[in-house]
Amino acid sequence: MNIQFHKYQGAGNDFILIDHRTSDLKNIDNTLVKKYCDRRFGIGADGLMLLLNHKDFDFEMVYYNADGNLGSMCGNGGRCIVAFAKQLGIIDSEANFLAVDGPHYAKISASGNWVDLQMINVNHIDKDGNAYVLNTGSPHYVEEVVNLKDMDVFTAGKNIRNNEIYKVQGINVNFVEDKGDHLFVRTFERGVEDETYACGTGVTAVALSMAKHLHQIGYIETAVEVLGGKINIKFDYDGERFTNIFLCGPAEKVFKGEM
């Protein structure tokens, strides 16, 4: 059986996308997904997504982590699947789709490679020592550091992700350095179990956490630099709740193929 796929990336966070409305791929298990995502013996990706029909939305997004397990919300993946839907002719300039954390709205540029994706509202942020803990569709740990460029993010992130508090459910670990006019962020992602070039729900969590930390109120725009490029976060914050959150960034097709 030959499966058609498309490869997309959003700020270096890369994904395998399959149009599952017509795909012959019937029995999807974590072994198969893990094989497809393997960078040595498969296509290679941080995750795999299926695009499905849904009677109440433009489409439904089903996301698998690179370890083969069903994942929580993926922000960069969400932007990429919107670009994929435009390529397939399902949408034009806007999309309303369903993901694991609920409905999402998105706007896409005429070129099809820049997407503004609305994320879920965030009603509270917890603390773990000096770090912030919150859920932006996926659970995140946010810690402010200095000299992030030279930090061993893999070791530090892995240790936090697997400590007594988080090892059962797992958590994505973000380190942030405030550069003044932008934030520099590096992330260790659960499910990939490694540092990735970008994490959409992660940079969202960082932007919200830093707004709380800096006591910013009102409409806020935050520029974020990640290893794979630049992403913008826009949101409203009234001192308690974060609403109208948009994750804005690239979503580009890399290639298509057959597996």
The catalytically annotated residue of 37, 74, 80, 248 is 74
Residue 253, burial from CB neighbour count under 10 angstroms (0-12, 13-18, 19+)? middle
- Among the options 37, 80, 199, 248, which is catalytic? 199
**Is 80 one of the annotated active-site residues of the chain?**
no
Return d(Cα 232, Cα 75) in angstroms, integer: 12
Residues 6+ apart with CB under 8 A from 184: 148, 149, 176, 177, 224, 225, 226
3-class DSSP state of 194: strand
The answer to whether residue 248 is catalytic is: no
C-beta separation of 47 from 36 below 8 A: no
CA atoms within 13 A on the CB side of 22: 3
Among 77, 112, 72, smallest CA distance to 91 is for 112
b (16+ CB within 10 A) / e for 173-204:
bbbbbeeeeebbbbbbbbbbbebbbbbbbbbb
Each residue of 39-74: b (16+ CB within 10 Å) or e? eeebbebbbbbbbbeeeebbbbbbbbbbebeebbbb
Residues with catalytic annotation? 74, 199
